[in-house]
Amino acid sequence: MTLARPAVADRPTAGPVTGADRRGGRVHGRHLLVGLLLLAIGSYLSLSIGAVKIPLGDMFHPSEQQWRIITLSRMPRTIAILLAGAALAVAGLIMQRITQNSYVSPSTSGTVEAAIFGVLLATLLVPGAGLTDKMLIALATALIGTFGFLQILQRVRVRDPIVVALIGIMYGGVIGALTTYLAYRNDLLQLLEIWTTASFSSIQAGQYEPLYLVVFVGAVGYLFADRFTVVGMGREFATNLGVNYRFVLYVGLIVVSVMAATVVVVVGSIPFLGLIVPNIVRIWLGDNVRVVLPVTALAGAGFVLACDIVGRLIRYPYEIPVGVVGGVVGAGVFIWLIVRAQSKGRA
Amino acid sequence: MITVSSVSHSYDDTSLVLDDVDLTLPRGALTALIGPNGAGKSTLLSAMARLLSPDQGAVRVDDLDVLRAKPDVVARKLAVLRQDNHLTARLTVVDLVRFGRFPYSKGHLDAEDHEIVERSLDYLQLGEFRDRHLDELSGGQRQRAFIAMVLAQDTDYVLLDEPLNNLDLRHAAAMMQLLRQAATELRKTVVVVLHDINFAAAYADHIVAMKGGAVMATGSPAELMRTEVLRPIFDLDIEVHEIGGRRVCLYWHPEPATLEAPARDDIHAESSSG
Amino acid sequence: MTTLHSLLELGSTPTERRRDRAVRLSLLTLAALALASCAAYLLYDVQGSWSYALSLRSRQLGALVVVGVAIGVSSVVFQTIAGSRILTPSVMGFDSLYVLIQTVFVASLGGAALTLGVVERFVVNAVLLATFGVLLFRWLFRRNSRNLYVLVMIGIVLGAFFQSLAVLMSRVLTPDDYLTLQQLTFASFTTVNPTLLGVAALVTVAGLAALVPMLRQVDVVDLGKDNAIALGVDYHRVVTRVLLVSVLLVAVSAALVGPMLFLGLIVANLARQVVRTNRHRALAIGAGLLGAVICVLGQFIVAHVFGLTTTFSVVVNLVGGVYFIILLLRTTRL
């Protein structure tokens, strides 16, 4: 400090400057572009892998038979993968913001289990139920299930985020046990296991189109991005800023339920995806939903694409369901995240 | 006598919480460990009581190697109480105090054990809470119940980690008085981690001041209660005053929160650098 | 009765004497209840040949009692060692590992897995589970002793991990093999092999015998690690031994009748409610008796009320899950 420097003047300027620097972690167009490019390469790979090999070179001038395989099976599959991955990741992100808890996601709060319960109900109650019937019923049960979780959430005494997540997992487990009970009575156990484990192997043209719904719902989610961020700072904070806490909460609830139910009905559940992807993106970019949402969607799509490709290659030409690969990887990453948060908290 | 020789310890391999500590604590005295947060007081206390095995060094209590001796032998020589005692077990006060006899009875209490238990309950005036569950007591009462357990352990050495936590002023003073009595009347060697220097100065025979994992100063309250000794330890502008023949530290300097205050600070800074 | 008296040394004041009498009364009631439910299980609604029904039912009853006692006792001491009322070996992902081991078994042997020597299968299962259990718990307790919630979470996620692997394996099974697997993994008391039952009972008795001398030290461990060490308990030795025994007991039960995720949780917490003491000698007896009562009565109800349209383990999971959530909601600390 020198005499010449006006001591009073440097105080007020110090604040804003560091504040702007600290914001950091901004997404540069570059990053998004690289992400998109990687995703494109992955999708391209995904198109070429399968029981019938389509050499990478042939993709630009496919034979008629190859073209049929691509349009009827490979293309729908790849699109379904991308949409499902993006939807589950974004659903997880929104859920984590509105509950202010980074250990919450559709698969750790009963949403997914409730949707599966709905699929079972549809099978039992509506003989010959089509995709639309199943989806509607699953959506209804998913909404009820998630709403139930939010109700429980308001009654928890221990505010430890891990406890909240444990309650969510157990809650999902209870719904799952109920589903198992019904399935056991009706000899549907093996079918149940097939629904609950995501797989893209049976995706064909004409069976995946409902997934496009998540694009629409995702757009709604993006419109509400800032409000989710605000709600994520707490009820008082939101009220202070004039945001209708309850309304935004319910919008989030609907967005999350629609996304999760749609994905569950069309492809099945991918455990921990909605939990780990937003958390990893968050470590890098922070909590601003508007910034994070597109990246989370990309990352989720990429994660599922990678799991699917790995599942298809491990025991080629047999397929290992993406839900299983994702479950193994997801559980591992989740444990890493917990241990990481723990050691950070201690330091 | 407790002898700590070249004890070092770290929790995460990056920084030393205890850095080659050598220390001797006198018998039959009340010793206070003081120092800022992170000085290593609690870690040192834990190491002395073999709650933690330090990476290096040895601790001896009289002729007993604390870290190597049989656990129950040490438990009859030395009692220790950590600061946070949240129990999942729903125990009554008397049940808890009876555990103090475990090193002797292994759970089969005889008449003498029961008598000692009742005596320490009386000593801490816990008679009326005898059959109450711990979770029905206030923080101060619970703290007294734990101290009663430690007394029932009937050891020559008693080590306590911040026993004044959660106690209001009256109970804090009463607790210090009790520890003072334990040292004077029962001839126990008491070691306490304290945050309040003034409590340490008023009640202890011997003070150990720590900082950054090392012992900075040891001595009687009179020797340590000096501005030039305390200032570097706490990095704080500490004034020592004498009130009624006792030395008292003043370490808070409230200033009127007026708008001119920062400006005056700056003038100070400028004039001192100029 | 002399042992019971010495076990429940009567206290010195009226309050304590009343409390000790209540503990004794609750234990006697549980014992009576256990006997009554066993009798009901054996004798209710026998049709046709009495000797056939009795021999079949006594075998089932034996399995139910062994499982109830093993799960009850192991869960209650495990809770204490872990310092948490919601931690039991099953909650820590143990059962999913059991399913995984079974799946690998069936996948590699097919239907032969059912006919393969029961004792061999039992030994392989028990050893694998016990080894893994001790390794896992040692690792967990050392690593994250500060936050129990984190422990539970890691246990549950590990469970999901094993489950994913098991599902992965089951996907490559033929429907026949899948049926075999389902028979092996869904806890079933109806198909009990007498040899297996004998081995399981023997191991359970041995485990209990090894546990009894440690129970007074377990009382002290209930005060927390620091206090236990301060009171001269060789904490690590006690924890390791109790872990080993309780993991072995759970392995016995899992190998005998398959996984029962929440049975231990229910039994241990109910036992603590019914037998209101911290003396683990009384608590362990109470949990063992209560475990037997719940298993026997539960299977009785599944058989005679639901007409076997469901399994005991599905019911336990349903009830246990709800109970677990209530526990989480109610406690301010675990």
Q: Do B273 and A3 touch (CB under 8 A)?
A: yes
Q: Which residues of A touch B262 (CB under 8 A)?
A: 8, 11
Q: Is C227 on the interface with B (CB under 8 A)?
A: yes
**% of chain A residues with pLDDT over 90:** 16
Whether A12 shows a pLDDT value over 70: the answer reads no
C-alpha torsion angle, residues B173, B178, B183, B185 (rounded to 10): 130
| Substitution target from C140, C325, C327, C331 for chain A, most A beta carbons within 10 A | C325
The angle at the Cα of C270, spanning C90 to C78, to the nearest 5 degrees, equals 40
Smallest CA-to-CA distance from A176 within A186, A163, A189 is with: A189
pLDDT at position C69 is 95
Minimal Cα–Cα distance from C42 to chain B, Å?
A: 38
- Alpha-carbon distance A10 to nearest alpha carbon in chain C (angstroms): 45
Q: What pLDDT is stored for residue B269 in this prediction? A: 42
How confident is the model at residue A15, as a pLDDT? 32
Instruction: Dump pLDDT digits (tens) for A179-195.
Output: 888 888 888 877 787 77
- Give pTM, 2 decimals: 0.76
pLDDT digits (tens, 9 = 90+) for B130-175: 888 888 888 888 888 888 988 998 899 999 998 888 788 888 898 8
A170 and C324 in contact by Cβ < 8 A? yes
CA–CA separation, B254 and B235 (whole Å): 17
- Distance, in angstroms, between B51 CA and closest chain C CA? 6
B49 neighbors B209 (Cβ within 8 angstroms):
no
Nearest CA in chain A to B12: A347
Chain A residues with CB inside 8 Å of B269's CB?
1, 7
| The pLDDT value given to residue C171 | 65
- Put simply, whether A173 touches C (Cβ < 8 Å) is yes
Q: How far away is chain A from the Cα of C236, in angstroms, using its nearest Cα?
A: 23
Write the residue in B12, B263, B273 that is nearest to A8 by C-beta.
B263
Distances (CA, A) of A264 to A260, B148, C46: 6, 59, 47
> In the β-sheet with B56-61, what is the strand arrangement from edge to edge?
B18-25, B2-9, B56-61, B64-65
Chain A residue closest in CA terms to B264? A8
Q: Give the pLDDT score at B160.
A: 92
pLDDT score for C184: 63
More confident residue, A198 or A81: A81
Q: How far is CA C249 from CA A141, C31, C70, in A?
A: 39, 21, 5
Q: Is B126 in contact with B93 (CB distance < 8 Å)?
A: yes
Binary contact (A347, B12; C-beta < 8 A)? yes
- pLDDT level of residue A178 (50, 70, 90 thresholds): confident
Tell me what pLDDT residue A87 has: 93
- Chain B partners of C223 at a C-beta cutoff of 8 Å? 85, 87, 89, 96, 99
Mean pLDDT score of chain A: 79
Tokens of A96: 């984590």
CB contact under 8 A, C232 and B82: no
Distance set, CA C324 to CA A174, C146, C161, C320 (Å): 10, 22, 21, 6
Distance to chain C for B37, nearest Cα, Å: 20
Residue among C164, C314, C325 minimizing CB distance to A167: C325
pLDDT for A89: 94
Amino acid A103: pLDDT: 86
CA-nearest residue to B154 within chain C is C231
Please name the residue of chain B whose CA is at the shortest distance from the CA of residue C234.
Answer: B71
Measured CA to CA in angstroms, residue C187 lies from A86, C181, C250, C251 at distances of 38, 11, 13, 13
Q: Kindly report the nearest CA distance between residue A342 and chain B, in angstroms.
A: 13
Give the number of B-C residue pairs with CB atoms closer than 8 Å: 82
Neighbours of chain A (3+ CB pairs under 8 A): B, C
A195-223 per-position pLDDT tens digit: 777 777 777 777 778 888 889 999 998 99
Counted across chains A and C, CB pairs separated by less than 8 A come out at 117
Q: What percent of chain B has pLDDT over 90?
A: 12
Task: Indicate yes or no: CB of B102 within 8 angstroms of CB of C231.
Answer: yes
Residues of B with CB under 8 A from a CB of C: 46, 49-51, 70-76, 79-82, 85-91, 94-96, 99-100, 102-103, 106-109, 114, 130-131, 150, 153
| Confidence at residue A145, expressed as pLDDT on a 0 to 100 scale | 93
The two structure tokens encoding residue A204: 């064909």
Average pLDDT, chain B: 84
How confident is the model at residue A256, as a pLDDT? 93
CA-wise closest residue to B17 among B39, B34, B46, B48: B39
pLDDT at A140 over 80: yes
E strand spans, A188-244: none
Dump pLDDT digits (tens) for A106-133: 888 889 999 999 989 988 888 777 778 8
User: Is the pLDDT higher at B265 or at B28?
Assistant: B28
CB contact under 8 A, B269 and A7: yes
Give the ipTM.
Answer: 0.75
Hey, is the C-beta of B13 within 8 angstroms of any chain A C-beta?
no
Exposure b/e, B88-115, CB count within 10 A at least 16 = b: bbebbbbbbbbbbbbbbbebebeeebbe
Q: How far is A196 from chain C (nearest CA, A)?
A: 10
Q: What is the pLDDT of residue A46?
A: 78
Give the residue with greater pLDDT, C29 vs B106. C29
H helix runs in chain C, sequence order: 2-7, 14-43, 50-82, 95-109, 112-115, 118-143, 148-171, 175-185, 194-211, 215-221, 225-230, 235-257, 263-274, 280-304, 312-330
* Average pLDDT of span A38-58: 74
**For residue A235, what are its two tokens?**
């009820």
Compute the distance between CA of residue A317 and CA of residue A61 in angstroms, rounded to an integer: 24
Name the residue of chain A whose CA is nearest to C310's CA: A185
The token pair at C223 is 């005060």
Rounded to the nearest 10 degrees, the angle between the axes of helix A189-196 and helix A111-125 is 140
- The answer as to CATH 3.40.50.300 being correct for domain B2-77+155-220 is yes
B249-261 pLDDT per residue, tens: 888 777 766 555 4
Q: Nearest residue of C to residue A335 by CA position?
A: C154
At B216, which amino acid appears? Answer: M
B71 with C333: Cβ contact below 8 A: no
| Chain C interface disruption, residue of B98, B99, B101, B121, most C CBs within 10 A | B99
Interface of C with A in 266-285 (CB under 8 A): none
Q: Quote the minimal CA–CA distance from A113 to chain C in Å.
A: 14
Cβ-contact B36, B13 below 8 angstroms: no
Stretch among A115-119, B88-92, B197-201 having the lowest mean pLDDT: B88-92
The shortest CB-CB distance from C154 to any of A158, A185, A338 is to: A338
The predicted pLDDT at position A33 comes to 82
pLDDT along chain C (334 residues), means of 10: 44 78 93 94 84 86 93 92 80 74 71 65 74 72 60 78 74 69 61 79 93 92 87 87 85 77 88 89 95 93 81 82 81 55
Q: What pLDDT score does C262 carry? A: 82
CB contacts, 8 Å: C328 with chain A: 156, 158, 163, 166-167, 170
